[in-house]
Chains A and B, each alone.
Chain A
Amino acid sequence: MTILYLLIPVTLVMGAAGLGAFFWSLRAQQYDDLAGDAERILHDGRDEPLPPRKETAR
């Protein structure tokens, strides 16, 4: 039974890591243009995301 005291924290930490990764991807604007990303993979050449914020939208 004592193994539970190790395993439960481990599962919780792993879950929290996944949650953290999702939050990071959300903040890094990875869900902003799902249709565009699907096409970008087909292009050659360098393709970098914009520098974060500090943008003018037109």
Chain B
Amino acid sequence: MASIEHALAKLPGVASARANLTLCRITVTPAWGGAALDTILAELNRIGHPATRIDEADLSGETSDGTAQALLRAVAVAGFGAMNVMLLSVAVWSGAGGATRETFHLISALIALPVVAYAGRFFFVSAWGALRTGRMNMDVPIALAITLALALSLFETAHGGQEVFFDAAVTLTFFLLIGRYLDHRMRDRARSAMTGLARLAVREALEVAPSGALRPVAVEAIVPGMVLRIPAGERLPVDARIVAGASDLDRALVTGESRPVAVAAGFEVEAGALNLTGPVDAVALRPVSESFLAQMMGMLATAEAGRGRYVRIADRAARLYAPLIHLLALVTFAGWLAATGDWQRAAFVAISVLIVTCPCALALAVPVAHVVAAGRLMAEGVLMKDGSALERLAGIDRVVWDKTGTLTTGTPALAPLPAMETATEAALAALAARSAHPAARAIAARLPAPNLALEDVAERPGFGVEGLIGGRRARLGRSSWVAEITTGLTEGDGPAFAFEGEAMLRLPLSESLRNGAVEAVSALARRGLSSEILSGDAASAVARIAARLDIAETRHELTPASKIARLDALRDAGHRALMVGDGLNDTAALAAAHVSMSPASASEAGRAAADFVFLRDDLEAVPLTWKIAKRTAKIVRQNFGLAILYNCIAVPLATAGLVTPLIAAIAMSASSIAVVANSLRLNRRETRPSARDSTLQEVPA
């Protein structure tokens, strides 16, 4: 950290720099005019801390969110009020009487009223919002209990009564706010996946005028029929048909395959595909608003909205619980009125029923358990976005995997290495080292470093590399292109290599499985969770991987839309599926699935759409997360059980009119503490301490 700050502070144009370890972010203050961003990034790279820049737009989600700070302030205020009111109450309980008691009540009232008005406003606003739309949530009984407790206490204070509930009202607010703050902190992390996808959109393109001149044109102004020049390294702004040039395209957005596709004139390609090797001219087929990328974003928005229908377990409990206790309070009021005829006494008892049944423990039961589980997952190298994801994960009955990049590492490997002569091997290594194509890199990685002199090396985009080795022409690349100089075409998979006039050598490429893939799939199968592969790849490649993992159900050559269709079909059949995927093409499917996970190596959009991101390289994180989710669900159920047990004891006492403020304060605190203590049990590791070495793979700063 110090090295970063010192290195940056030395740069011209930088007044000061400060690294934030918690956020993994550096803030730089430019001295005058502003420093060049590239200089800063280059310097960071040089000292071994590569960084990326954040857009102000991405940050706005975090910084504009003052709710967390407001909640924290409210917690502080409520805590302050609770302590002071409690002090005064203890004096009253231990026997203060007469004028002293009345003074104390008055002071309590003066503290409690502003504190509850300030700190409790979150509950009032939320409860009012729910009531106005005719719904019920946990905040309705909370707000009602706090308000009534205050009103009753004010009334009693004004009449010189003996029993007031100021302490109960304020401590309730305090405890509930803690639960609310924890809940909010977790939801904060969940960010919309849209920004990641939107960044792939191109803002400007080069138009080729009929005269042959190039001029820049805004993407929105592109009309079908316009001819565009796409240089190497750029993404296609719209769906287009190539009219001139040849190149390799990275169509990961569509298929999820990182292996480039060779294209030439006549091919139709989708917006968002990355042009890798050579410039091409393409004629636009559709305006940008109807392009593939725009459709993807639309699909993602629909998928995210669809998942919003999930009702959290706490809200489901509230729907049952709230009407029940309101009815109970009403019955108590009617009963006491009928029995004694004293409406003041009846109102007092009814309100004390509402206060003791205030769902304090219920409101804490879920967020505390989730926060503890999130901390536990973090130690295991799994990041969680949202508490509801844990609830959803605990209920899955099926796992759906993406293939490339998830079950496999995504980079091709040369296996098995075909038998060849030493001279051939050296030539092959030399040629492969000259190309940046992933297949060439995979070949070069398997061979010893080249020490051969090459002449006249040329890379032909879409075909391969060729060069002169000791006066002989050699080619490495597509088999049909290599066949032009050989004696014949050899059948087989993968790229080919040959010297001029000799036989062709095929280099079969295969994918290597991710660490722990076999163990993860079989561990899940043992727990009764069947697996399924949804892949954009060809049938043979999918079948090979499925056979190695012992997965019976596979689907191949799927588009992003058909992945969603498959997930929807599963949902309609009553299945709740966990989707594990990484590619850009999985983004919408990740958002559409019941719950989703993606590895840290996934595309940015994919990571943003997934509920869980695991930083570890091996897939064992999947069954592990599932196990923790299961345990969390169990703890949450126990917490609800504890809260109900508490109510079973407190409610009969309250309806009998036996609850004094002292009993209410003790009972409510005890139930809250019991719930928190029970949740902390999640931290206990039942098995071996796991390896934590790979938890910090994110780029620092």
Interface members, chain B 6-33 (any A CB < 8 Å): 16, 18-23, 25-30
Considering only CB atoms, which chain A residue lies closest to B5 in the complex? Answer: A47
Chain A interface size band reads: 20 to 34
Residues of A within 8 A of B (CB): 1, 4, 8, 11-12, 15-16, 18-19, 22-23, 26, 32-36, 39-40, 43, 45, 48-51, 54-58
Given A50-B27, A57-B56, A58-B28, the answer on whether A19 and B84 have CB atoms closer than 8 Å is: no
Asked if B59 is at the interface (CB within 8 A of a chain A CB), the reply is yes
Nearest opposing residue in chain B for A23, CB measure: B73
B51 CB contacts on chain A under 8 angstroms: 58
From A15, A34, A36, contact of B84 by CB (8 A) = A15
A40 to B21, CA, bound (A): 10
B27 lies within 8 A of A26 (CB): no
Shortest C-beta distance, A40 to chain B (Å), equals 7
In the complex with contacts A39-B1, A48-B16, A57-B59, A19-B29 CB distance below 8 A: no
Nearest residue (CB) in B for A1 is B100
Cβ contacts under 8 Å, A40 to chain B: 1
Nearest-Cβ distance from residue B50 to partner chain A, whole angstroms: 13
* Interface pair B73/A26, CB less than 8 Å apart: yes
Residues of B near A45 (CB, < 8 A) are 2
Contact of B53 among A1, A15, A50, A58 (CB under 8 A): A58
CA A12 to CA B72, docked complex, whole Å: 21
Given the interface pairs A33-B21, A35-B22, the reply to whether A56 lies near B76 with Cβ below 8 Å is: no
Contact A58 B26 (CB under 8 A): yes
C-alpha gap A39/B22 in the complex (Å): 11
A31 to chain B, nearest CB (A): 8
B40 within 8 A of A: yes
In the bound complex, residues from chain B placing their C-beta under 8 Å from that of A54 are 29
B694 at the interface (CB under 8 A from A): no
With A51-B29, A56-B30: A11-B21 Cβ-Cβ less than 8 Å:
no
Residue of B nearest to A49 (CB): B18
CB distance from B24 to the nearest CB of A (A): 10
A50:B18 contact, CB within 8 angstroms: yes
> In the complex, are the beta carbons of B22 and A56 less than 8 A apart?
no
Chain B residues in 8 Å Cβ range of A33:
20-23
- Rounded to whole Å, the gap between the CB of B195 and the closest CB of chain A is 15
A58, B40: Cβ atoms under 8 Å?
yes
Cβ of B666 under 8 Å from chain A: no
Q: Given A43-B2, A57-B54, A58-B54: A22 and B21 within 8 A (CB)?
A: no
A51, closest chain B residue (CB): B29
Could you say which residues of chain B place their CB within 8 Å of the CB of A35?
A: 21-22
Residues on A with beta carbons closer than 8 Å to the beta carbon of B2: 43, 45
On whether the beta carbons of A36 and B21 are closer than 8 Å, the reply is: yes
| B411-449 near A? 1/0 per residue, CB < 8 Å | 000000000000000000000000000000000000000
Bound together, the chains give a CA A57 to CA B72 distance in angstroms of: 24
Which residues on the B side are within 8 Å of A32 (C-beta)?
20, 22-23
Bound together, the chains give a CA A32 to CA B511 distance in angstroms of 43
> Which chain B residues lie closer than 8 Å to A48 at the CB level?
16
Q: Which residues of B have CB within 8 Å of A18?
A: 80
- Establish whether residues A16 and B80, one from each chain, have CB atoms under 8 Å apart when the complex forms: yes
In the assembled complex, which residues on chain B have CB atoms less than 8 Å from the CB atom of A39?
A: 1, 21
* CB–CB B22/A57 < 8 A: no
